Structure 1
Amino acid sequence: MKFETIEYNNYDEKLYKYEHSSGLKCLVIPKKGYSKKYATFSTKYGSVDNEFIIPGDKDTTRVPDGIAHFLEHKLFEQKDGSVMDKFAALGSRPNAYTSFNQTVYLFSCTDLFKENFDLLLNFVQNPYITEESVEREKGIIGQEINMYRDNPGWRVSFNLLEALYEKHPVKLDIAGSIESISKITKETLYKCYETFYHPSNMVVTVVGDVDHNQVFEQIEKNIQSTKKVSEIKRIFPDESESLNKKYVEQIMPVPTPLFYIGFKDNNFNLQGTEILKYTVAIKLLLSMIIGKSSELYSNLYDKGLINSTFETDFSLESSYAYSMLGGESVNPEAVKDLLVKEIRRLQDNGLELNVFERLQKAAKGRFLRQFNSVESISRTFISLYFKGVTMFDYFNVYDTISFDYITDVFYKHFDIEKMALSVVKSSKT
């Protein structure tokens, strides 16, 4: 059995990579002495993948919104009982999640890793879907949709995406809508499963004190498909470079208004480590402009315009990119105005080199601390591997990213014309 070993001696880390004949990728990151073991079986299939061309077909397939999340739910039902109960009997903690771009099945355990790993590989490969269970699941997921629809934090973030995007499905709730899931059928679920759950569209990651040879042997024994298929063609609508809306407001019973400010970024056609470089640049810039050590943050905090709920983030995928920042505020418009004022000041006067260098070191330190958590390692590896890079590629990015590059990205990304504000507040505010 051939596999690749990559050693990162400066950081005392190692990666074992193996590719099954079906095209399935398997990554093992050993963590000697760690008691917890963490394994995932993931597919590059998320809520935005609702229009595609199946390998071998000429025609486009369009499926109801929310089907990736629906399929995640259905895989935990097997003919002989609940998969959750089987994991519980083995003393492990299973879970799964669907995001915009991937679906992940996982477990963590301290003992009986081999048995738990066999269970993970087997249940994800063997869906058992009946018409009766599909109808029953519609009621369960419908309740989940209603719950999120009534969640102010969920709504303020998706309202921002609706402001940023006119057509792209990233603006849609991951679970879909009551109307869209009503159109889901057993046949459509199996069609999506057969398209997106082929091993060549999937990756297995294992992090912990495990024998990589044993892991790869279990892959060989358990993966049923041996034939690779061509790549799935995903289709996205033509999205304008400009905003859909500048401002979105929703009235909900909240004690303090919630807000998110977002910047739409059209520079998402990046490859390899350029993805990581651009991501690091935006996150460093967010820290420089409005991070906890910035003058703007202190000013906003002292005025009572933000509190400890304030956060920032950046998302970069193959068909969209955006940054967002927000939390609770008694006056979201005032936060936006002061942010705009600070961005314009920095555009006129320039960024400060010493601030960049300080935050660059701090960011690298936070990144390195992720290697103390098997969960953090696994989550980061999954999201990056589907983009063609690994978590270890960050090492070189943090060491080589330049102030000139950061400055260039600053002027490109923080465009006031591409900035939108989403607010959720009560009728009394």
Structure 2
Amino acid sequence: MEELVYKQLNESVFQETMENGLKVFLLSKPEMAKTYGIFTTNYGSIDQTFTPIGKNEKVTVPEGIAHFLEHKLFEKEDRDVFQDFTKLGASANAFTSFTKTAYLFSATSQIEKNVDTLLDFVQDPYFSKESVDKEKGIIAQEIRMYDDQPDWRSFFGTIQSMYEKHPVKVDIAGTVDSIQEITKDDLYTCYETFYHPSNMVLFVAGNIQPEEMMEQIRSNQAKKDFKEMPEIERFYPEESPSVAKSEDSIKMPVTTAKTMVGVKEDVSSLNGEELLRAELLSGMILDFYFSRSGEFYEELYKDDLIDDSFQFETELDRQFGFTILGGDTRKPDELAERVKKMLHSLREKRISEEDFTRMKRKKIGQFMRALNSLEFIANQFTHYHTLGVDLFNVLPVIESLTTEDADQYVEHWIKEDRISVFKVLPQE
């Protein structure tokens, strides 16, 4: 077991790679009553085409299978795993993203038993044809529910207008039709390929003794047999840097339109820290201009183009990246044109040293406050780890950013052929 010491933050993380390849990270917070554990596999909705372990030819599985698999792991032959956690006084959950699937719990007691339960249920799959067929109806209902939500439709509609071929354009849950194609054998194929311990990370944070917890995890893993794992071969279609559609829209039963402006990011040449720097700079620049205290936000608000639903986000990950801005508006066309014009104008604008110093201080403050949350630490540490970045090294990276970095980033950021507009319009 190795101790990683971060003097600037007065934090220590204990790490060890188990003999089967599982990477374990422990953060002791004895002042906390709660403990949070998250068990994550580097496998998400975009991983549709791959070479199964033990096979020579690649396969393409149905859309939404990673999310489907997440649901099915909680169901065993004789019980529902949620009940196991409830009996131990824990709250359990799971989520699937574009690139990861995670299983988690939080509890204030019986932590050792909860950690064992987390490891054991994820590492012991059970799928039957009957239970798979039953789950299709449940997930189809979930998909239809999201299809009725304007915010969700505008988010994925924007991504679909940006991406032509990449599976990031597909709803994480898949479609009602695609999940009907999923079989028990498909689930086992995906599980055996992506749920090997060497493709997974366990992070436990809270009121724990690191030495005792690590020994318990070693003992848990030593009881299980896993074959040696070759590197996973994943395949993604070639995607143009340009957006698939410069504009698209749908009509829904809404009283107020929604306008979203998407910027398709080029992450093809970025490694771990470069990806982090791009994510930080994008977030800081958008916050400076488009947050409620920003110059652009005030201008849009005064002109009655936006309300307090206006928001923005940037997501940069392996294989894809995008920025989305927008919200409710009574003037969808005008808002789209104004936001596009503002984004293009960033090249001509220069952020002063004084303003940039303020931006960095704000970012540092947000980051330091977030470190009070066990969930934030565990989730983000795991996320950044898969990208080759250490969460606790984010602070020095923020401190190292300069106005020159911001200028250089903006220079290559906004291009007309990488911008797409998506609108949700009221039905006539």
What is the TM-score with the length of structure 1 in the denominator? 0.96
Residue aligned with 1:11, SS: coil
Whole-angstrom distance in 2 between the partners of 1:61 and 1:345: 45
The answer to whether the 8 A contact 2:263-2:420 is kept is yes
8 Å Cα contact 2:267/2:275 also seen in 1: no
Worse-superposed segment, 325-334 or 349-358: 349-358
**CA distance in 2: counterparts of 1:20 and 1:174, whole angstroms:** 31
2:131 matched to which residue of 1? 133
SS in 2 for 1:347: coil
Distance 1:157 1:363 in 2: 25
Per the TM alignment, residue 255 of structure 1 is displaced from its structure 2 partner at its CA by 2.1
2:63 partner amino acid: D
Opposite residue 254 of structure 1, the aligned amino acid is: V
Between stretches 65-74 and 343-352, larger displacement belongs to 343-352
Aligned Cα RMSD in Å? 1.4
Matches within 5 A, 1:54-93: 54-93=52-91
Bigger shift: residues 92-101 or 28-37:
28-37
- Higher mean C-alpha displacement, 35-44 vs 338-347: 338-347
1:261 Cα deviation after fit: 0.9
**CA contact 2:261–2:340 (8 Å) conserved in 1:** no
Return the alpha-carbon distance in structure 2 between the equivalents of residues 272 and 198 of structure 1: 23
> 1:387 is matched with which residue?
387
Aligned to 2:261: 261
Answer yes or no: is the 8 Å Cα contact 1:68–1:103 preserved in 2.
yes
Structure 2 equivalent of residue 121 of structure 1: 119
| CA distance in structure 2 between the partners assigned to 1:16 and 1:304 by the alignment | 52
Count residues in correspondence. 426
- For structure 1, which segment, 413-422 or 400-409, has the greater mean C-alpha deviation from structure 2 after superposition? 413-422
Tell me whether 4-13 or 134-143 shows the greater mean CA deviation: 4-13
Of residues 82, 95, 106, the one that matches 1:108 is 106
Contact kept? 1:44, 1:103, Cα under 8 Å: yes
Local SS of the residue matching 1:85: helix
SS at match of 1:77: coil
Cα shift at 1:417:
2.5
Structure 1 residue ranges without an equivalent (≥5): none
User: TM-score, normalised on structure 2?
Assistant: 0.96
SS of 2:238 mapped into structure 1:
coil
Give 1:145 shift: 1.0
The residue number in structure 2 matching 1:149 is: 147
Q: Deviations over 1:362-420 (max 9, x none)?
A: 01110111110111111111211111112112011111011111111112112232111
In 1, Cα distance between equivalents of 2:259 and 2:34: 38
CA contact (8 A) 2:68 2:173 kept: yes
Aligned match of 1:330:
330
Shift of 1:233: 1.2
In the alignment, which of 178, 181, 184 is matched to residue 179 of structure 2? 181
Deviation at 1:143, TM superposition (A): 0.6
After superposing the two structures, state which structure 1 stretch, 402-411 or 223-232, moved more.
Answer: 223-232
> 2: distance between equivalents of 1:332 and 1:420?
14
Look up the match of 1:283. Answer: 283
1:40 and 1:52 mapped to 2: Cα distance?
25
Counterpart code for 1:176 = G
1:267 CA drift (Å): 2.9
Alpha-carbon contact 2:30-2:207 (below 8 Å) kept: yes
Name the SS of the counterpart of 2:114 in structure 1. Answer: helix
Structure 1 CA distance, aligned partners of 2:415 and 2:212?
Answer: 51
Secondary structure of the structure 2 residue equivalent to 1:91 = coil
Counterpart among 42, 45, 52 of residue 44 in structure 1:
42
Distance in structure 2 (CA, Å) of the matches to 1:362 and 1:122: 42
For residue 22 of structure 2, what is the aligned residue in structure 1? 24
CA shift for structure 1 position 56: 4.4
* Residues 74-132 of structure 1 deviation map (CA, whole Å, 9 limit, x = unaligned): 10011221101111111110000011100000000011111111111100000111110
Contact 2:259/2:336 (CA < 8 Å) preserved in 1? no
Structure-2 separation of matches of 1:329 and 1:399: 37
- Percent of aligned pairs sharing the same letter: 38
Cα deviation, 1:196-248, whole Å, max 9, x if unaligned, reads 00000000001112111222122212222454412211100011111100111
Match of 1:220 in 2: 218
* Aligned CA distance change for structure 1 residues 297 and 215 (closer, same or farther; 3 Å): same
Q: Helix, strand or coil for the counterpart of 2:69? A: helix
Corresponding residue of 2:247: 247
